[in-house]
A and B are shown apart, each in its own frame.
Chain A
């Protein structure tokens, strides 16, 4: 980590006579002077013409000027692009092999700086000195390494080696500088890279980012901090942090970060408590789902009072699902009671939870769910739950099938055909079960 705050370099002011002004103001004055001249010219030249001619000519001149500016900018952009490509190519040639090695399974042991230098074809004497010249080379190096890191990193490669290597190339300092840069795009790009590399951020930088006026930056900073090994990073959720804003990506990011913490044996939060703290239903649902994902059976009981909040339908559905997945059998009476009172969509979630628990206690409730509704979706789902309810359920299903009316027969047809879409749906639901391995590697 490096010291902060740093002073930013300010470009030299221009001297116009006695007044010193900044470069931007100088150019603004130039543009204003140019248009003043054009305006004067138009009014002198077209003095006898109607106003529309003057306006048309003025627009013509403005457009022509803008076209010239655009094409000049295009030229500059194209030169920049070429330089970027060249630098990328240079980095690949010079350090590509070394990067591949660091990310491969061969680098599963802790390496010394000298060894890393050797793999990068560098002399040992360069250790501690600047290897890359300037921010452009560093940016190209990070871009290349990031792409390789995401696409080809082996599970057995060591993060310590990666940190050591990045340190040798002064990348953490570079990324920290980028993160504190005024340009939002550069800030976000750097944050996106800090996260997978799990680089520790200076507290000063974190605080600045967390107070950023851009929600996107705030969130990225938060997830970067959670990704780091600091225990205090979990404190950010101890307040009603999500307020009105919560999206699916937040959940993906959180799941990803918590998965990493779990893998590394770091402190994990009480997600049920977080669900209580948040006011936003979406955020509450998110934490309940995460409980399911991380198999947090011990906190299931804490969700009972949230389940009683009848207004939040989605939350009730999520809690029911979580209880079902985590086999929290003590909730069964609550579920049976809720099946009588809740709306159709919620009923379906509750019925599925009952099927997962499959203690035998709720089979009658499922049968009631099937018989006491005219909603075809609920009827079908109830039947599916009975079908999946183990031996008892299958027996009841057969009985119902033999007694089915003509109109009900179509429901039963699904269960006898292996290639209906139902199979796909079931597979997808299964995907959220904690026992299923995900691609959250690293």
Chain B
């Protein structure tokens, strides 16, 4: 009976793999098409700046960055945000009742004073205690919101949304490094779109290998450490193939919480971020899409690979496992909370195609891999494995994975899709990561995902622990 079960499982997994590979190939083709379109529609930086800088029509943006106990980096990070090149933007730093000197440093550095402020609590967040602005004209863009501790980034982001006055807002982490041209490139899509743009996503990259000067990345390279290097590869594949591919058919299911631009009005009408969610970014975008669909409104969600945001990835096993467990839990939450959208053609391609893909190939995969691993160990000892066939199947998976990475490299180099240093060493590191990934990195991710699922099922209290950061190299 066990053997029959094993054979059924083997055939199922084989067909599953073929389907997965087919969907990857489809995504590759779609992302290629999307990049071609971007090549045509996104002009060079000088042209974008030339057109948008002088125009009063360029939409204003609010940058929302929640901060909690960031005394070490807060001033550098705010200075970095103040350096962003864009004609009309405001920066909203939301202090989530830090217990260190974050607030004190901000007040002293930027000469902040409390100002009267008309705050309508449009989306749920803990009460706002005060709003501060600088008396110094050169910091007129800066608004600091001091609020009651919410414990989650989503709560802080919601407080920022309540304060923001512009049509668009960008949600980021206070420790993220954003390129100076980022807002221009994102906004180009908003002004160039014939449909209302409700969200624009950027490419997240690891800052672990970068050299930073005055809050700007001056040398972007692939991290030297193993874990961040694997994550870099994973991010590149996800942003250049997955997200870009889905954006081609306007079905992008997620805009990264690290750096994403949203339409304030639609975000508010959809209820903003869910402070209790572990995947608040996916959750909000799906609710925004639901709102637009339910009201029969046209919309567009775009992904711009050329807009890069550098964030420090977990470099220790402990922090990585904590992050991935949380993500897995978040995915389970999404599947559970938005189940009515899955396989539902009312929500267009996102309901009929993307969310089923997410369910079958992202949600079920760690579970299947775990069962496969148990079967492998059991039948290795029992002698039920045809090793020559296994070797060929393994070769198939390995060569496919190598092909995907080669494609990403070719894609990135040929189109300069991502705005970073395109050196031979970077690409060699990525190739090395590809060769080692199935043995060193993937098992960890699978394990963490299963732990995350288990925690969701067993209803264990979720803890939002910050990633232990070591800081980036400074010039």
Contact = CB atoms under 8 A, between A and B. Distances in A.
Q: In the complex, which range does the number of interface residues on chain B fall in?
A: 35 or more
B143 interface: yes
Contact of A78 (B57, B140, B413): B413
A420 B46 CA distance: 33
Interface string A224-253: 000000000000000000001111110111
A414 B56 contact: no
Contacts of A411: 118
A376 interface: yes
B56 A147 contact: no
A44 interface: no
Interface stretch (B109-117, B282-290, B327-335, B462-470): B109-117
Given A151-B46, A245-B194, A74 B409 contact: yes
A56 B116 contact: no
Contacts of B47: 150, 192
Interface stretch (A27-35, A59-67, A96-104): A59-67
A70 B406 contact: yes
Interface in B374-415: 389, 392-393, 395-396, 399-400, 402-403, 406-407, 409-410, 413-414
Residue with the greatest number of chain B CB neighbours at <10 A, chosen from A60, A146, A188: A60
Contacts of A428: 56, 60, 88
A260 to B, nearest CB: 12
Contacts of A185: 36, 39-40
Nearest to A420: B115
B116 A410 contact: yes
Interface stretch (B185-193, B256-264, B314-322, B352-360): B185-193
A236 to B, nearest CB: 18
A421 interface: yes
B29 interface: no
B55 interface: yes
B115 A431 contact: no
A343 interface: no
A369 to B, nearest CB: 18
A114 B39 CA distance: 39
Contacts of A147: 46
Contact of B396 (A59, A184, A251): A59
Contacts of A77: 410, 413-414
A344 to B, nearest CB: 14
Interface in B32-49: 36, 39-41, 43, 46-47
B150 interface: no
Contacts of A214: 40
A256 B51 contact: yes
Contacts of A371: none
Interface string B43-85: 1001100111111111110000000000000000000000000
Interface residues of A, number: 62
What secondary structure prevails in chain B residues at the interface with A? helix
Contacts of A146: 46
B52 A59 contact: no
Interface in B169-191: 188, 190-191
Given A419-B115, A424-B90, A56 B194 contact: no
Nearest to B427: A74
Nearest to A416: B116
A52 interface: yes
A421 B194 contact: no
A57 B396 contact: yes
A53 B116 contact: no
B118 A438 contact: no
A151 B60 CA distance: 23
A55 B57 contact: no
A425 B165 contact: yes
Q: Which one of A55, A252, A376, A425 has the highest number of Cβ atoms from chain B below 10 Å of its Cβ?
A: A252
B410 A420 contact: no
Given A185-B36, A185-B39, A414-B118, A248 B389 contact: no
B21 interface: yes
B18 interface: yes
Interface in A320-341: none
B133 interface: yes
Nearest to B409: A74
Interface of A: 49-50, 52-53, 55-57, 59-60, 63-64, 66-67, 70-71, 73-74, 77-78, 146-147, 150-151, 184-185, 188, 192, 196, 214-216, 244-249, 251-253, 255-256, 376, 380, 410-411, 413-414, 417, 419-421, 424-425, 428, 431-432, 436, 438-441
Given A410-B118, A411-B118, A438-B56, 8 more contacts: A52-B393, A60-B395, A63-B402, A70-B407, A249-B188, A255-B55, A417-B116, A428-B60
- The 6 nearest A-B residue pairs measured at CB: A439-B54, A63-B399, A248-B191, A413-B116, A431-B56, A56-B396
9 contacts: A53-B393, A56-B395, A59-B21, A70-B406, A249-B51, A252-B58, A376-B120, A428-B60, A438-B54
